[in-house]
């Protein structure tokens, strides 16, 4: 399974892309019965006013305004505004750490890798504050083998079922504390140092649990020049 996120136009093709194109050309020369079939799964939510966003004081929902219409102006055009941490998005290395790359400085090679999915849905049903543990990673490896080098680890928490309801998705209590799953500090360190994971992702507002105040997972990955994905869609459709 190849999971990709197109973040910006690239001035040239990387060797990896050329290899894929060459493989595609070779596949095209085969008889239909000999070709390998691929399924593309979109892990992003469409941008609109209902998208969940980080509930900080300066944040707000996605906004769109029509500036011109075909009927009145002969062309359709609009204007939109959105906080960066709204909907499905990437946390660049400079999000929590200084002197680290911004999104535009990441290369295609930085953004592509083998993806694995660790399912913790049964644990989050019992505890919305559950954080991925090292034991969860080891259990995955017992079934599927050691994590591939430079892999992208995604955790499926089941939180996507709440996507249509912002209040349930952020799950704040009467004191304003958020309650949703994430990565524990120990698991983040294990993935970053012991397994040399390229990136991580999750189907919640943050890779750190909602109750976190110091965001250790963000610091662990950003300080190493690595990135994270938040508010992922359709994680349940990916194989382990």
Whose structure tokens read 């993935």? 191
Q: Per-residue pLDDT averaged across 174-203, rounded?
A: 98
Reported for 34-37, long-range contacts at CB under 8 A and 24+ positions apart, including other chains, are none
Task: Say yes or no to pLDDT of 21 above 60.
Answer: no
pLDDT of residue 36: 74
pLDDT band for position 59 (cuts 50, 70, 90): very high
For residues 168-177, b (16+ Cβ closer than 10 Å) or e, as one string?
ebbbeeeeee
In percent, the amount of the chain with pLDDT more than 90 equals 83
The first and second tokens of residue 54, run together, are 């980080």
pTM to 2 decimal places: 0.84
Task: Say yes or no to pLDDT of 120 above 60.
Answer: yes
DSSP string, 12-66: S--HHHHHHHHHHHHHHTS-GGGSPP-------PPPSTT--B---TT----EEEE
Q: Which of 178, 223, 196, 234 is nearest to 39 (CA)?
A: 234
Q: Are 187 and 181 in contact (CB under 8 A)?
A: no
pLDDT band for position 23 (cuts 50, 70, 90): low
Q: Per-residue pLDDT averaged across 90-108, rounded?
A: 97
Task: Say yes or no to pLDDT of 18 above 90.
Answer: no
């Amino acid at each position: 399974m190849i999971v990709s996120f197109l973040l910006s136009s690239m001035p040239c093709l990387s060797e990896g892309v050329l290899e894929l194109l060459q493989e595609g050309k070779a596949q095209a020369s085969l008889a239909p019965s000999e070709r390998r079939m691929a399924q593309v799964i979109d892990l992003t939510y469409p941008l609109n006013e209902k998208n969940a966003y980080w509930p900080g004081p300066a944040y707000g929902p996605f906004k769109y305004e029509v500036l011109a219409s075909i009927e009145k102006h002969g062309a359709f055009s609009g204007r939109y505004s959105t906080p960066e941490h709204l909907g499905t998005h990437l946390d660049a290395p400079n999000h929590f750490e200084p002197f680290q790359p911004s999104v535009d400085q990441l290369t295609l090679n930085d953004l592509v890798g083998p993806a694995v999915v660790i399912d913790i849905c049964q644990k989050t049903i019992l505890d919305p504050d559950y954080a991925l543990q090292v034991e969860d990673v080891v259990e995955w490896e017992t079934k599927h083998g050691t994590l591939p080098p430079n892999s992208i680890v995604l955790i499926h928490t089941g939180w996507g079922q709440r996507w249509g309801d912002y209040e349930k998705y952020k799950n704040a209590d009467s004191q304003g504390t958020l309650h949703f799953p994430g990565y524990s500090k120990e698991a983040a360190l294990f993935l970053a140092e012991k397994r040399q994971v390229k990136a991580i992702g999750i189907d919640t507002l943050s890779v750190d649990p909602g109750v976190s105040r110091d965001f250790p997972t963000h610091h662990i990955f950003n300080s190493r020049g690595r990135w994270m994905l938040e508010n992922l869609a359709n994680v349940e459709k990916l194989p382990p």
